Structure 1
């Protein structure tokens, strides 16, 4: 197959000999974009500066150019320590390129759907081995809105100092470059369409993998609860043995400055935008290898190679399911006559409860 050598060559030529000026995931992304130059539309959304190198903040899109076509966005690396989310998206992008050479069904699918990728939102943090960006800001708490109730101490977002974790940034200041870039991609490539989905890949404490959706700032339920409830039912029917907990983030805790709350609230009222956050339960890996607790990366990522491969295999099906759900959206989005019934079922299922 004549596609294999160019991809291998891309990996070889895209890598820089100066390891201190880059990191593996960034080089993998550049290699994928180089190899997929005939397929991906690549944009440099912003430039991120660190105490050392600067990094281009890339977005890439593939598929239909029809502005009315449904779309799905895959995002990762908002927290620099949570590398496994970025690796999952890169794994999916790489597989997509290989499949395009022979998978006629995928080729037909991409004629009617748009896939958008932003695998490394926080390259400066990932390069520096830090959760926050180079200015010490936790990007997932950097939007301007405040929670409507009590948030967990520090973890819900704090404006005291970047020397403490979960720093939102100074009140009243503009959002960070990376946060603004993510919201720009959402605004220009996803939320402007009649229907779109987004999946933001993270890892965090817990023994279960979770799919969270807005809101994080309030215990009130989102306007598109019937659509999210339908998507949950489809996931359970299509992947009956999945272990994802699927719920509003506010069922776990409230949060200042959530980017997806902000993006959802600024979507045109006549459009359906369903953003989700995939939280990979890192305690699953720590339980099997407790020594990971003594590694900054080990707290948030699987360390052993066979566990990394298992995580990539396990969750690739979710990304493929969501892409197919976006493609088939006209057939499953509930109509007005059905929405009222689904609203009642979803409200009963996700009844707001007291946040931490």
Structure 2
């Protein structure tokens, strides 16, 4: 473990060891980077009831975006500390399952690249093609792994890391009546944003009413929260989005709700406050000043905790047959004016 020199992996494995009485962990696959074999882990805790709601927390899909992994590790560390004294948390975990994949692309993080060691951008790797025009390169390309945003060869199987994520989502989330997923990224804009599908189309996805109900619950509970809640398609479209792929595969199961969200941390704000970060590849995606990093790590714990509480009590806020149409109409008015008529 010391030879890996990957602090986030060392911290994750330390948490797995310290929390062995509460966490159930397993290795999903290994990837090679710089001659080292690096594991991809999943860690679960809480209810073993297959009908219990679940929340999946994912990070490190892009190796350059270390802060997303660090936010999830900070949350895991907080949960582990609370398990030593917080009876309310123990009671909550009797009725909900939490799933963590904080470091999906350890090879990319080891090599300081956005892609995995094979040069594939894992968030462009799913077999999904955009229905509308995507931006040049950024939307995903198949020309060369030497260029950014490479999707992988046409017709090839998804990368091992992508397959590992998809298997965890199918096994732990899509099999349940209600589940949420949060994927932590950084590198876009001056604000922290919560994105939801689609990335491959500007049309609303099937569970728009449920996303709007969650957003309304957040607004009522924390009216001064900092997040801009919006569909990813408001910013740009892409090919190969993993969450679109998993979301589409779930829709055939009537009566199940799966809400995949992305926390997109606004790294441009860190650059604005410290322009020297522009001259560092790491600084384009992560806060480099220690006190700013600490502020980021603590400022999102409330959002992560909110998701666990919302999932555990989903029956109390999820729209039902009577009010679902009004939620859908309000969502369309807020996010899809001119798209849905």
TM surpasses 0.5: yes
Which residues in structure 2 correspond to 1:193-342 (within 5 Å)? 193-267=176-250, 268-342=253-327
Kindly state the Cα deviation for residue 220 of structure 1 after the two structures are TM-superposed: 1.1
Give, in whole Å, the separation in 2 of the partners of 1:234 and 1:331. 10
Secondary structure of 1:336's partner?
Answer: coil
Which residues in structure 2 correspond to 1:167-186 (within 5 Å)? 167-186=150-169
Give, in whole Å, the separation in 1 of the partners of 2:176 and 2:188. 34
- Mapped pair 1:88 → 2:71: yes
Corresponding residue for 2:62?
A: 79
Give, in whole Å, the separation in 1 of the partners of 2:249 and 2:55. 17
Residue-by-residue CA offset, 1:315-336 (whole Å, 9 max, x unaligned): 1110000010001111111110
Question: Contact 2:217 / 2:317 at 8 angstroms: preserved in 1?
Answer: no
Which residues in structure 2 correspond to 1:12-161 (within 5 Å)? 16=2, 18=3, 21-161=4-144
Question: Contact 1:152 / 1:253 at 8 angstroms: preserved in 2?
Answer: yes
Alpha carbons of 1:353 and 1:211: their partners in 2 closer, same or farther (altered >3 Å)? Answer: farther
Stretches of structure 2 that go unaligned for 5 or more consecutive residues are none
Corresponding residue for 1:351?
A: 336
Secondary structure of 1:273's partner?
Answer: strand
Give, in whole Å, the separation in 1 of the partners of 2:337 and 2:256. 25
Question: Contact 2:124 / 2:238 at 8 angstroms: preserved in 1?
Answer: yes
Give, in whole Å, the separation in 1 of the partners of 2:123 and 2:273. 29
Kindly state the Cα deviation for residue 252 of structure 1 after the two structures are TM-superposed: 1.0
Kindly state the Cα deviation for residue 205 of structure 1 after the two structures are TM-superposed: 2.5
Secondary structure of 2:214's partner?
Answer: helix
Give, in whole Å, the separation in 1 of the partners of 2:202 and 2:274. 36
Kindly state the Cα deviation for residue 245 of structure 1 after the two structures are TM-superposed: 1.1
Question: Contact 1:146 / 1:256 at 8 angstroms: preserved in 2?
Answer: yes
| Segments ≥4 residues shifted beyond 4 Å | none
Residue-by-residue CA offset, 1:233-267 (whole Å, 9 max, x unaligned): 11111121112111111111111000000111111
Question: Contact 1:89 / 1:119 at 8 angstroms: preserved in 2?
Answer: yes
Residue-by-residue CA offset, 1:205-235 (whole Å, 9 max, x unaligned): 3101111011100111011111100100111
TM-score normalised to structure 1 length? 0.93
Give, in whole Å, the separation in 2 of the partners of 1:264 and 1:353. 24
TM-score normalised to structure 2 length? 0.97
Question: Contact 2:202 / 2:234 at 8 angstroms: preserved in 1?
Answer: yes
Stretches of structure 1 that go unaligned for 5 or more consecutive residues are 1-14
Residue-by-residue CA offset, 1:163-198 (whole Å, 9 max, x unaligned): 100001111100000001001000000111000000
